[in-house]
Chains A and B, each alone.
Chain A
Amino acid sequence: MINRMVVNNLARRPVRTALSILAVVIEVVLIISVVGLVRGLLDEGARRQQGIGADIVVQPPGASVFMGLSSATMPVKMGDVLGQVPGVTAVTPVYFQSFGGLTLAYGIDLESFRAVSGGFQVLRGRTIQGGYEVMIDDVYAAENKVKVGDTRELWGHDFTVAGIVEHGKGARLFVPLATVQQLSGSQGKASIFYLRVAGPQDLGPALARFKSMLPGYNIRSMEEMTSLMMAGNLPGVKPFERIMIAIAVVIGFLVIFLAMYTTVLERTREIGILKSLGASKGYIVNVILRETVLVALLGIGLGIGASLLLRYVVLHNFRTLAILITPGWLLRASLIAVGGALLGAFYPALRAARQDPIEALAYE
């Protein structure tokens, strides 16, 4: 009976109900998509680092785990010394340079990079040989509609696309190490060294040796490095997520509050009628909150659908992006939406429950 009344009440004002649902949809989409984008990009970046296949990562003091934020200050010749440590089977220097915002290019020594990573899976064309040549991964190629033989402008110079390789080995673009060193005026320098060890038993001793050789340097296992890049461990990510969630909750709260407040005002007489029939304060609150929960549930369902659709559209058009949507965050977004809606409806519901029945019945 009460559910019938709830549904009829919502259907009576379809525009207001639709706007309330829309507010919840926006709330859910904001939470799922923004959090999903941040976590997706971070986690995807960490996976590409893991894809290099290295066991140890050496960076200069003060370097960020985010490659594009660090400069090249280590001499390449340092790699020869690092390679002498027992257990180390391969070392490769990499010079990374960002361009166009989020896109990172690796300057690599192809031979040593191959020794650490196992080489590239070339899908079209060939590997770089030198000069102004670039290899791009298949994701970047698809998004930017680039094919072998095209030119890409990097750092003010035209680079010819030599080959398209399978994604997943650090960056999306690879240029010769010497070329990027020359262009940036940092000849003989590297941003990072990736190292491979013979077996798991060599990892600990190698790390300890490097730390004693290079005090102050950031020397980490790949596992530790990628763990730091994961969204859950990165300082600032959780506060950012909380701020986005708070903004989303405020949107949902305000719209629901206003909608339910006007609903209660509009239905003053009906509330008086229910009270004259013996409806308690709890009954009145129950009706208002049930309407709110129904609006929230509809908004959540549509919001999840819209988030998935948005993810599909974004990834279809921007393949280098990643939006991570997990069941855990779907549940969190749903609970947050319901909670925010109930919070918004609480005061109007209490107001309705406290109305004097005689005054309510006389309301025009």
Chain B
Amino acid sequence: MALHHIIEVESLEKVFHVGRVDVPALRGVDLRVEAGEFLAVIGPSGSGKSTLFHIIGGLTSPTAGRVLVDGVDLASVGDAGRTRLRKEKVGFVFQRFNLLPTLTAQGNIDVARHIAGDFSHYQEAHFQEIVKMLGIERRLHHRPAELSGGEQQRVATARALVNGPAILLADEPTGNLDTENSQAVLEVLRGLNQRLGQTILMITHNPEAAGFAHRTVAMRDGRIVS
């Protein structure tokens, strides 16, 4: 495993303003993730797991604290900088797959490359290996409606990895899958980490799923508790 920290979070705070009420979602989170690590984040609903992911992934900005993602200080970049981060350094896998329904599986992957443009680190041979690992070579010309839940999640994983991101953020990747497909997707994630050295952060409610990771952190009430 590489020794440098690909993610560094210090005293991270995030407050949402809901009408006249301020809702603190993160209350001072410290976290370090090494390159090539597979980290699971567990916790009950409302613990701040998703907010932590959204900040690390550049979908929203921190209220206070320091967040470094592969050398990019998210506190010092604006919306354009976070947008670039999502093109270049971050890949998302969501619980609901979030594939574009009007495009085929290949189209969904291609759109991620198209959006990244010059910021893509696409490598043909590397990506073909990923596609083979994911077992979706024969499903690429099908639209999401023609794919099973497990297949859709694997296509979403391929899309998340096509640009060679520094980190893969998986938010409850097995939340909408049955046991068999959940197992398959988790095996894939572990394979990506072990064989290709992909840094993975995964949110999960499921302790068994968390067992696939190198390390697990638990969150509660906006803090990491263990």
> A residues bordering B, Cβ < 8 Å?
1-2, 4-5, 8-9, 11-12, 269-270, 272-281, 283, 356-358, 361
Q: Please, which residues of chain A bring their CB within 8 A of the CB of B92? A: 276-277
Report yes or no: B100 in contact with A270, Cβ–Cβ below 8 A: yes
Instruction: Given A273-B99, A361-B94, output 14 extra A-B contacts at Cβ < 8 Å.
Output: A1-B114, A5-B100, A9-B102, A11-B102, A270-B100, A270-B101, A272-B98, A273-B98, A276-B86, A276-B92, A276-B94, A278-B86, A278-B87, A280-B80
Assess whether B54 is interfacial by the CB under 8 Å rule.
Answer: yes
Per the bound structure, the CA–CA distance linking A266 and B57 in Å amounts to 25
Confirm or deny: B48 has a beta carbon within 8 angstroms of a beta carbon on chain A: no
Chain B contacts to A: CB under 8 angstroms: 54, 57, 59-60, 79-80, 83-88, 92, 94, 98-103, 107, 110-116, 119, 159
Q: Which of A270, A276, A278 contacts B88 (CB 8 A)?
A: A278
Which residues from A are CB-within-8-Å of B116? Answer: 277-278
Q: Cβ of B86 and Cβ of A5 under 8 Å apart?
A: no
Verify A358–B83 contact, CB threshold 8 A. Answer: no
Q: Determine if A277 and B102 form an interchain contact, defined as CB atoms under 8 angstroms apart.
A: no
Closest chain B residue to A360 by CB distance?
B59
Question: Which residues of the other chain, A, contact B101 by a CB distance below 8 angstroms?
Answer: 12, 270
Contact of A1 among B54, B60, B98, B110 (CB under 8 A): B110
Contact assessment for B60 and A358 in the assembled complex, using a CB-CB cutoff below 8 Å? yes
Give the nearest-CB partner of B51 in chain A.
A358
Q: Which of B85, B86, B99 has the most CB of A within 10 A?
A: B86
Please tell me if the beta carbons of B87 and A269 are within 8 angstroms of each other in the complex: no
Residues in chain A near residue B80, CB distance under 8 A = 280
Chain B residues contacting A356 (CB-CB under 8 Å) are 60
Instruction: Give, as a whole number of angstroms, the nearest-CB distance from A42 to chain B.
Output: 49
Which residues on B sit within 8 Å (CB–CB) of A357? 59-60
The docked-state distance in angstroms from the alpha carbon of A233 to that of B57 is 64
Q: How far is the CA of A356 from the CA of B79 in the complex (A)?
A: 11
Closest-by-CB residue of A relative to B163 is: A278
Q: Are A277 and B115 neighbours in the complex by a CB distance under 8 Å?
A: yes
Alpha-carbon distance A4/B119, docked complex (angstroms):
21
> Given A8-B103, A278-B86, A361 and B98 touching (CB < 8 A)?
yes
Given A277-B86, A358-B54, A358-B59, CB of A5 within 8 Å of CB of B115: no
Q: Can you list 5 contacts pairing A with B, beta carbon distance less than 8 Å?
A: A8-B102, A269-B98, A276-B86, A356-B60, A358-B54
